[in-house]
Amino acid sequence: MKTPLLSAPPPLVFAAPDLAAAIADWQRFLAAERRYSSATLQAYERDLRQFLRFLSIHMGETPTIGLLSEVRPADLRGFLAARRGEGVAARSLGRQLAGIRSLIRYLEKRGSVNGAAFSATRSPKAKKSLPKALEVDKAMRVVDAGSSLADEPWIAARDAAVLSLLYGAGLRISEALSLSRAEAPIGGAKMLRITGKGAKTRIVPILPKVAGAIEAYIAQCPWPLGSSEPLFRGQKGGPLSPRMIQRAIEAMRGSLGLPDTATPHALRHSFATHILGDGGDLRTIQELLGHASLSTTQVYTHVDAARLIEVYRATHPRG
């Protein structure tokens, strides 16, 4: 039976005034100095809230800054076990522990706590899942179908433009939908400056076909597109929701014979995998994708190796 321990109200309920004030300072630090996104900040707050509630019940008192120094590895393992008992995956547990450690490191630098227990506790091992890249012909069919499946021509053109950015430039769906009209790579533009995770800015090349798809959308869009306003619009003129693009690809699965793993993010994975397969190097792909660490990009070597093994087994006389 699932324990109700960790479904938590706002964190201040389970934090003494000194700790609550320190948490507020930490959150401001992450937003202003580290420039974390609002989504990351919300996830960290939610994770911390769950931990503080567990700690208040487990330790029998409202957590203070001083109490954090008394936390032992066994206490942290108890928290992780409680979360695992609720069906939380190892990857999510690792992210949750990382958020808690971020607060502890912040307090350690201020000389407020001894975070030895938090450093000594290992993160749960997450099973590595390979990116689900589409085959080249299927990726191309998805992009091409984006201009033919929608009922209204301007929406079809819009979907084709967004999908072209995902597969043709390797953008995340959030990055594509964050573009303003002024940032649209048209008029002969060969490069696009994009700001991704962690406010990291990168430059990506823009293929003529991608620019052409965006120009076709702009020409047909019935809504006025101010220079500082969102480039991609929903049916009623507001900013386009990622869910609309997800639904567009879901609608293509049956007609194009695509697997369930065909998603907007799969197009970004396909972009990287296909470049690697054609001889691209990891450092270049790292820059194009905006990965902070090369180790994140190296997963694509496994994807390409898997494809080569499949070909080998299917074609070798003794396969």
Q: What is the pLDDT of residues 211-269, one digit of tens each?
A: 999 999 999 999 999 999 999 999 999 999 999 999 888 888 877 888 888 888 889 88
Whether residue 34 lies in the annotated active site: no
Band of residue 2 on the pLDDT scale cut at 50, 70, 90: very low
> pLDDT tens across 8-63, in order?
334 455 789 999 999 999 999 998 888 888 888 888 888 899 999 999 999 999 99
Q: Which two tokens stand for residue 113?
A: 């706590």
Q: In this structure, are residues 142 and 256 in contact, taking their beta carbons and an 8 Å threshold? A: yes
Q: Considering 83, 269, 274, 291, which one is annotated as catalytic?
A: 291
Is position 268 annotated as part of the catalytic site? yes
- Contact in structure between 233 and 240 (CB atoms under 8 Å): yes
Instruction: List the catalytic residue out of 91, 197, 202, 307.
Output: 197
Catalytic residue among 53, 172, 233, 269: 172
**pLDDT band at residue 310 under the 50/70/90 scheme:** low
The answer to whether 300 is a known catalytic residue is yes
316 is catalytic: no
Rounded Cα distance, 268 and 270, in Å = 5
128 or 194, higher pLDDT: 194
User: Is the model more confident about 168 or about 128?
Assistant: 168
The pLDDT-based confidence of 4 (bands split at 50, 70, 90) is: very low
The 10s digit of each residue's pLDDT in 68-88 is 999 999 999 999 899 888 888
Q: Which of 158, 268, 269, 274 is catalytic?
A: 268
Query: What is the chain's Cα-based Rg?
Result: 23
Q: Is 291 a catalytic residue?
A: yes
pLDDT of residue 3: 40
Assess whether 172 carries a catalytic annotation. yes
The one catalytic residue in 58, 141, 265, 307 is 265
**Is residue 150 pLDDT above 90, yes or no?**
no
Report d(CA 308, CA 310) in Å as an integer: 5
Q: What is the sign, positive or negative, of the torsion defined by CA atoms of 164, 169, 170, 175?
A: negative
| DSSP structure string for 246-314 | HHHHHHHHHHHT--TT--HHHHHHHHHHHHHHTT--HHHHHHHHT-SSHHHHTHHHHHHHHHHHHHHHH
Interacting residues of 131 by C-beta distance below 8 A, sequence separation 6+: 266, 269, 272, 273, 299, 300, 303
- Could you tell me the CATH superfamily of domain 4-120? Tyrosine recombinase, N-terminal domain (1.10.150.130)
CATH code linked to domain 136-315? 1.10.443.10
Q: Are strands 201-205 and 191-195 parallel, antiparallel or unpaired?
A: antiparallel
Where are the chain's structural domains? 4-120, 136-315
Q: What residues have CB less than 8 Å from 232, skipping those under 6 apart?
A: 158, 161, 162, 176, 177, 179, 217, 239, 240
Amino acid 308: pLDDT: 52
